[in-house]
């Protein structure tokens, strides 16, 4: 049975990358050691982390005045590091279009009880269960604010921001965890981008931060580990980084480059997700909870049948046929097909075939 | 050429463990997925993390009233999390017997500029380049203090604390990164133990925290990711944990258990390191910078030749013969043989042979 892994993260990785890592698992580049056994101060690992950075700079066209940092703790730790480093003594705005954006805002509020800054909820679509990307009036933004935070892709709700909003000149800071390298963004449109690796980049445990140099904190923050400037100036080697995860990220970057880069990935992803969206739209059995077609994510595609009972039955039958992890997030229910870069087109076709069959049997 | 990896961390891992991980790298337990591709909410990963915890509890005889948490950020992030969670409004004492203990204290001082607590330097051997474990007068300790922090094994300087000091009833909190599972400690003698995985447990990117329940913070701290209680109550699944690293840790725990557990590892480690210590002691060419034999680490064994030039020559010749990463830390120079659990006895014998030859040629 072919297994298709629709997991929202940790997620499917390219088979070629896994095979390469497996082949050199015991002996990396004739070092006689596994990548995991390499000192993070060794020449071998130095090459790995420098290559990883250089490949990512190439793939995303990251300008020289941006630092690239490999950290730990996932997007969730960035929810606190971000205001700690960028917003002290300032306002910081949050556009909340999904559960993760809400968490980013909630953590900012928590932090603001100890650290002097003012998190402001600029817009939210929570009332309609995040079924769209909310609008806001740019003139309401204080131009001296530290940033406007948004989530480029809402993993749980299946919406994306493709056209960045007017923020009255205030830098946009984005959680790009679930569509980094999947669609093209212009890095220069952001003050800072962060992303957990476990969707489009590699295994869980690596976090990428891309930050414009002039936004780096001037003063040390409360912990060296949480200090962007210290981490950036140490070249992500302030302490022992997650070496194997960074190595896997490097392999994925090489793979994406060989496939044609981010523009090519976006083309593939739009076609791949388009197949599923078209089918859902044509069906009067399945529906998408996303209100506006323009907000649709190419990475995470939620859908529901006419009832919760049928949703549960769908998930059960799908699982038995090898369509794994297609259950929607517990907060929204239904189904969710996460079609990250490494997810094969054939899996979408096979899923649609199953959906047709399920519809015919249960309509 | 046989490669012996003397790296202080990331370090040598058991070959059997690496081979097992390699064999199931593409397809874990017939799931059709790599461990890296498993959702952290999947049954498969849930079994992995529960097994890892259960094995560690067994190996270290961790009592039920201690929580075991798998975190990210290494020991370095614990330097801040520890006082943030345990010491607010209180005093916290530091015994500084090495560079890492100094960092723990320095980060505590940094944090205390923002967070209300009082870090106190109880004792330090910095003046003599940490050549011994410093003593202190227990009666000087305020019994209401949050903790006394110490480092059980000083990775850079090669000293260890085996007999825990009298702390006037105040809980001992320990960085056990470089000798966890290498020698037996009684967990009940500690309020909290933390350790980065990359020496005796697995790949870099996993941090173990073992904390007595009654010491958990009552109030939320400034970030959910930095909050022991939140992490403990979520079973280390507050956000996506470093899944592959935890899986590797589980394999290492199984391996250590199969070898006979921590007492057996200690026996092996004492014999293994004893070979090298005995040789250094018998030699009038090599010397150990450690002042008192009772403080000697079984995990990290620094030594020097009569001159810096000969040290450099030693490292160069050793490297060419496959004795890798034997250079001492830049802060102390000389050589350092890190003999963690997975380091083979034969490597020690071969090193001693080389040392004899080098001595004969350069005396």
User: What pLDDT is attached to residue B330?
Assistant: 84
Decide if B236 touches A, using CB distance below 8 A.
no
Decide if B205 touches A, using CB distance below 8 A.
yes
Of A1, A12, A244, Cβ closest to residue B37: A12
Among the three residues B225, B258, B291, which one is the final residue of a domain in this structure?
Answer: B258
What DSSP designation does B99 have? H
The verdict on residue A221 lying in a domain is yes
CATH number of the domain that residue A112 is part of: 3.40.640.10
Would you say A142 and A113 are in contact if contact means Cβ atoms under 8 Å apart?
A: no
- pLDDT tens column, A329-340: 988 899 999 999
Q: What are phi and psi of B206, to 5 degrees?
A: -120, 135
Instruction: Check whether residue A317 and residue A352 sit in a common domain.
Output: yes
- pLDDT tens column, A244-269: 999 999 999 999 999 999 999 999 99
Nearest CA in chain B to A330: B41
Instruction: Quote the domain boundaries for residue B278.
Output: 260-362
Mark yes or no for CB contact A32/B242 under 8 Å: no
Annotated catalytic sites of A, by residue?
Answer: 100, 175, 199
Of A3, A240, A243, Cβ closest to residue B33: A3
The verdict on residue B2 lying in a domain is no
Mark yes or no for CB contact A79/B223 under 8 Å: yes
The verdict on residue B9 lying in a domain is no
User: What pLDDT is attached to residue A330?
Assistant: 84
- How many inter-chain contacts (A to B, CB under 8 Å) are there? 215
Instruction: Check whether residue A253 and residue A265 sit in a common domain.
Output: no
3-state SS assignment for residue B105: helix
B108: left (phi over 0), alpha (psi -120 to 50) or beta: alpha
* Strand B153-154 to A323-324 pairing: unpaired
Which chain A residues in 331-350 lie under 8 Å from chain B, judged by CB atoms?
none
Mutation target among A231, A240, A245 for the B interface, most CBs of B within 10 A: A240
The verdict on residue A234 lying in a domain is yes
Using a CB-CB distance cutoff of 8 angstroms, which residues of chain B are in contact with residue A110? 220, 222-224
Instruction: Check whether residue A204 and residue A297 sit in a common domain.
Output: no
Which residues of chain B carry a pLDDT beneath 50? none
- pLDDT tens column, A9-43: 999 999 999 999 999 999 999 999 999 999 999 99
Using a CB-CB distance cutoff of 8 angstroms, which residues of chain B are in contact with residue A18? 25-26, 34, 36
Instruction: Check whether residue B234 and residue B332 sit in a common domain.
Output: no
Taking the CB of residue A23, how many other CB atoms lie within 10 A of it?
Answer: 11
Of B8, B40, B222, Cβ closest to residue A80: B222
Rounded Cα gap, residues A246 and A180, in angstroms: 16
Would you say A132 and A290 are in contact if contact means Cβ atoms under 8 Å apart?
A: yes
Candidate list B67, B199, B272, B327, residue with the active-site label? B199
| C-alpha distance from A245 to closest chain B C-alpha (Å) | 8
Instruction: Check whether residue A158 and residue A285 sit in a common domain.
Output: no
| ipTM reported for the complex, 2 dp | 0.98
User: What pLDDT is attached to residue B332?
Assistant: 85
Give the residue ranges of DSSP H helices in B29-98.
Answer: 43-60, 74-86
User: What pLDDT is attached to residue A363?
Assistant: 87
Lowest mean pLDDT segment, chosen from A273-282, A323-332, B298-307: A323-332
**Residues shown for chain A:** 363
Using a CB-CB distance cutoff of 8 angstroms, which residues of chain B are in contact with residue A40? 10, 204
The verdict on residue B321 lying in a domain is yes
Q: At which residue do the structure tokens 């806001």 appear? A: A136
Instruction: Check whether residue B268 and residue B322 sit in a common domain.
Output: yes
Q: At which residue do the structure tokens 């993390």 appear? A: B49
Using a CB-CB distance cutoff of 8 angstroms, which residues of chain A are in contact with residue B230? none
The verdict on residue A2 lying in a domain is no
CATH number of the domain that residue B333 is part of: 3.90.1150.10
The verdict on residue A55 lying in a domain is yes
Decide if B79 touches A, using CB distance below 8 A.
yes
Instruction: Check whether residue B194 and residue B328 sit in a common domain.
Output: no
Comparing CA positions, the residue from B79, B84, B85 lying closest to residue B102 is: B79
Find out whether A198 is annotated in a ligand binding site. Answer: yes
Mutation target among A13, A34, A78 for the B interface, most CBs of B within 10 A: A34
Rounded Cα gap, residues A11 and A9, in angstroms: 4
User: What pLDDT is attached to residue B83?
Assistant: 98
Which chain A residues in 121-140 lie under 8 Å from chain B, judged by CB atoms?
none
Mark yes or no for CB contact A72/B74 under 8 Å: yes
Rounded Cα gap, residues A258 and A252, in angstroms: 10
Q: What are phi and psi of A25, to 5 degrees?
A: -65, -35
Is residue B199 part of the annotated active site? The answer reads yes
- pLDDT tens column, A141-192: 999 999 999 999 999 999 999 999 999 999 999 999 999 999 999 999 999 9
* Strand B192-196 to B172-175 pairing: parallel
Rounded Cα gap, residues A12 and A32, in angstroms: 29
Among the three residues A232, A258, A284, which one is the final residue of a domain in this structure?
Answer: A258
Instruction: Check whether residue A247 and residue A305 sit in a common domain.
Output: no
Mean pLDDT of the residues in chain A:
97
Instruction: Check whether residue B137 and residue B164 sit in a common domain.
Output: yes
Instruction: Check whether residue A253 and residue A268 sit in a common domain.
Output: no
Comparing CA positions, the residue from A188, A75, A113, A96 lying closest to residue A148 is: A96
Instruction: Check whether residue A222 and residue A311 sit in a common domain.
Output: no
Instruction: Check whether residue A132 and residue A38 sit in a common domain.
Output: yes
Mark yes or no for CB contact A203/B7 under 8 Å: no
Count of structural domains within chain B:
2
Among the three residues B258, B276, B294, which one is the final residue of a domain in this structure?
Answer: B258
């Amino acid at each position: 049975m072919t297994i298709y892994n629709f997991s929202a993260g940790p997620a499917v990785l390219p088979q070629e990358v896994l095979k390469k890592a497996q082949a050199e698992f015991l002996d990396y580049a004739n070092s006689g050691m596994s990548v995991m056994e390499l000192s993070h101060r060794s020449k071998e690992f130095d090459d790995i982390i420098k290559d990883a950075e250089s490949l990512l700079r190439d793939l995303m066209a990251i300008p020289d005045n941006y630092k690239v940092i490999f950290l730990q703790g996932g997007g969730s730790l960035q929810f606190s590091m971000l205001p700690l480093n960028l917003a002290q003594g300032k306002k910081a705005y949050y556009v909340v279009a999904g559960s993760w954006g809400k968490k980013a805002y909630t953590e900012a509020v928590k932090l603001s009880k100890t650290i002097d800054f003012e998190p402001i909820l600029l817009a939210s679509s929570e009332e309609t269960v995040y079924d769209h990307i909310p609008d806001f009036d740019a003139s309401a933004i204080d131009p001296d604010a530290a940033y406007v935070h948004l989530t480029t892709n809402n993993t749980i709700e299946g919406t994306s921001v493709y056209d960045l909003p007017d923020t009255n000149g205030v830098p946009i800071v984005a959680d790009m965890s679930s569509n980094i390298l999947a669609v093209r963004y212009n890095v220069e449109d952001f003050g800072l981008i962060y992303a957990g690796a476990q969707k489009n980049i590699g295994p869980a445990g690596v976090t990428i931060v891309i930050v414009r140099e002039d936004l780096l904190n001037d003063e040390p923050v409360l912990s060296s580990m949480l200090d962007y400037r210290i981490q950036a100036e140490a070249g992500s080697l302030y302490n022992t980084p997650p070496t194997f995860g960074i190595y896997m990220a490097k392999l994925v970057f090489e793979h994406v480059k060989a496939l044609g880069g981010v523009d090519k990935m976006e083309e593939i992803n739009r076609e791949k997700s388009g197949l599923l969206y078209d089918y859902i739209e044509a069906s009067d059995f399945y529906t998408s909870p996303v209100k506006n077609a323009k907000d649709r994510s190419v990475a995470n595609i939620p859908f529901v049948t006419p009832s919760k009972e049928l949703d549960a039955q769908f998930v059960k039958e799908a699982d038995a046929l090898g369509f794994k992890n297609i259950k929607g997030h517990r907060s929204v229910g239904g189904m969710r097909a996460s079609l990250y870069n490494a997810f094969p087109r054939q899996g979408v076709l096979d899923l649609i075939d199953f959906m047709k069959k399920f519809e015919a049997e249960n309509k």
